[in-house]
Every structure is written in structure tokens, then in C-alpha cells.
Amino acid sequence: MIITRAPLRVSFVGGGTDLPDFYRRYPGRVISTAIDKFVYLVINRTPLIPKVSARYSVSETVDHPKNLQHTRIRAALLDLGIEKGLEIGSFASLPAKTGLGSSSSFSVALMKGLHAYRGKKIDKKEAAEAACRLEIELVKEPIGKQDQYAAAFGGFNIFQFNSDGTVDIEPILLDYKKQTLLEDHMLIFFTGISRTASSVLTEQKSRIDEHFETYKKMADSVFDFKEKLIKGDIKGMAEILHQGWLHKKSLASNVSNNLIDSLYEAGLKTGAWGGKILGAGGGGCIMFLSPIDKKPAIRLAVNEIAKANNLSDFCEIPVKLVQSGCDIIFNGDI
């Protein structure tokens, strides 16, 4: 048995600039951090059972991977030529589609695990690339590359997406004081509205030309954000997030909606310095940076709105920053 895990991520600035229609013409950049919520992947050899099983929210057992319903596991097994004799199960600390990049964390953990299953150890970059290839080329998701890299590498990083398809990784070397300072000022709520990134990104992608200058500003603002982060200027970071959120809302009609807007406004009104929706938009999580003493008022205000709108899954997600990326945490194969 092999167990791998990969962290989810919180992306601060530059989301969307990791789409090829943009980075082929101008360097895309994203600044993000891995968080203490993980996707775990278990791969078990079943040499005496000539089947393939996939266990996630449903359980499938088939004679050949081509018959699997789970698109990513199916595509990965077919691509690697793995035909039978294994079970794959996934476990996660949070539900899917929360805007924290979990589907790419799943893909990175899957690719790292399947390569180990075949006796090949792959490094962080190879794991990120394998997951990008799986999701973008094989499954044809209209998504970017930031989440796969964030999950594979872990820690706080700036990722730069170059026109030739390569990705540069710049780790932000933050000491524990800055890390805990940020954690103490951060508030994340799951809106209770799930959506797939692809549903939002399809419209966004088709309108990149129209908004090219906005994307450029977003890609360039990672440097400003990094500077404020290194200084521990949380208020300054929040202002950049707020600007970024306004930019992002202008990119596609479905990035925000009245409900998300009212949650965000309630946060600002009760004292948050700024914030954004995490993930592609349309739902997922909402994040605020705020003074520590304003947190109770913000919690109260957003919970009231959630209640009034029957968002039964609305909840706060406490988050810590982590350094670990995708790891093989157990390898029982001999």
C-alpha cells in the first residue's frame, strides 16, 4: 500500500493569469500558500483480484479502467497503462469544490502515488507537471496550472507561468512570526455554495483578450503583495486583495453574485480590511484579512446573512500555513 497526501491552498493574487491564453503573451504570476487541510490518496495492490476499484464519494469496481466513471483516475490509469490489480481511495479534510484547489491536490497526490506504484519516485516539479498534463491535456479541463504547483511544492510561493510553458518557483522565506501574524488576521468561510472551477473559467477564458490589461495588473501585483507580506503589513496586503477582487469580478459575469457580494460587503462593513473569494468564483470560500478584534463582529455578520439565505453548509474554516507539499507518507510496497 502507498499513501500520498497533498495540501490544499489559499491563493492571494494573480488567479486567472495561469491560463495559457494569458501566459503565452505575458508572464502569469500567482502568489499562494499551502494550508493544513489535505487530500489523502491510498493505492493498494490487489494482485489476486484482477479488477480496478476507485473509492471516493462513490465506490466503483470495474474490469478495466476505461469503464471507470471517475474521469481523472480513468485518464491517469489509461495513460500509465495500469490495467488491473489495484484499489484507489481518496480521503480529504474538506468537501470538494470549496475553491481551495482540492481537485488539483487530488491529481498531484494521485500522480505521485501512481508513479510510486510503478516503482518510480518523482520529485515536486515532476508531480506538478504530471498533474497539469492529466487535468489540462488528458481530461481537458479549462483550468490553469497554479493549483497543481501549489499542492506539489507546499509552502508560500510565487509561481511564474512563462510563455514557453515552463514554471518558475520562488519560495517566500517567511519566518514563523510573519506566518502566525497572517494566520491571526485571516478569516475564511465556506459559503456553502459549491461549484466547479471549469464552470466559471470557461466564460472567463473566452474573454481574456477583452480584459488583457486587467490580467497584466493582476500578474504584476504579486510583487507588491510579496513586499507587504515580508514586512508583515497585513492591512496593505488586504488592500491589494480588495483591488484584486474588484478586478476579478470584472473578468466574467459569474465570478460573483448578489449573495457573495452581500457577504463580502458585510465583512468590510464590520471591520475587515479587505478580502476575496477563493478559487475561480461563483461560490467556494470567502476570505477576509481583518484586525484581530474585529473577527467576532465579522463572524456574526456573515453568519446572519448565511442563515437568512439558507446556506446550511456555511461555516468557518480555521487555517494554518504549512510548508509540506505532496509527500509519500507511507510506502508499504517491498
Partner 1 sequence: MEDFIKDFSIKVEAVLKKLPIKEIAKALNILKAVYERDGRIYIFGNGGSLALATHWVSDFNKTVFSHHLDKHSRRFQAIRVPTTEEELTAWANDVGYDMVFAGPLKNYLQDSDVVIAISDSGNSPNVIKAVELAKSYHVPVIGLSGSDGGKLNQLADVKILVPTEKDEYELAESIHNIILHLMTKYFKDYFDHLVERQNKV
Residues 6+ apart with CB under 8 A from 123: none
* Residue with smaller CB distance to partner 1, 81 or 176: 176
123 binds partner 1 (CB under 8 A): yes
Residue choice 42, 54, 109, 122 for contact with partner 1 (CB under 8 A): 122
Residue choice 48, 57, 81, 173 for contact with partner 1 (CB under 8 A): 173
For 128, 148, 198, 275, the CA distances from 135, given in Å and listed in that order, are 11, 9, 11, 28
Written as nine digits, the cell of 162 is 512563462
Shortest CB 2 distance to partner 1, Å: 9
180 binds partner 1 (CB under 8 A): yes
Q: Given the rule CB under 8 A, which of 51-59, 63-71, 118-126, 309-317 is the region that contacts partner 1?
A: 118-126
Instruction: Using the CB atoms, write b or e for 169-195: b if 16+ within 10 Å.
Output: beebebeeebbebbeebbbbbbbbbeb
Burial of 307 (0-12, 13-18, 19+ CB in 10 A): exposed
* Residue with smaller CB distance to partner 1, 303 or 324: 324
113 binds partner 1 (CB under 8 A): no
Residue choice 48, 58, 164, 176 for contact with partner 1 (CB under 8 A): 176
The site map against partner 1 for 287-326 (x = CB under 8 A) is: -----------------------------------xxxx-
Identify whether the C-beta of residue 248 lies closer than 8 Å to the C-beta of residue 281.
Answer: yes
Q: Given the rule CB under 8 A, which of 46-54, 75-83, 177-185, 209-217 is the region that contacts partner 1?
A: 177-185
State the DSSP H helix or E strand holding residue 104, giving kind and residue range, or none if neither.
Answer: helix 102-117
Instruction: Name residues contacting partner 1, limited to 8-67 (CB under 8 A).
Output: 36
How many residues in total does the chain contain?
334
Residue choice 24, 121, 231, 269 for contact with partner 1 (CB under 8 A): 121
Angle between helices 146-153 and 102-117 in degrees, nearest 10: 60
Q: Which residues sit at the interface with partner 1, rule CB under 8 A? A: 5, 36, 116, 121-123, 154-155, 171, 173, 175-177, 180, 184, 322-325, 327-329, 331
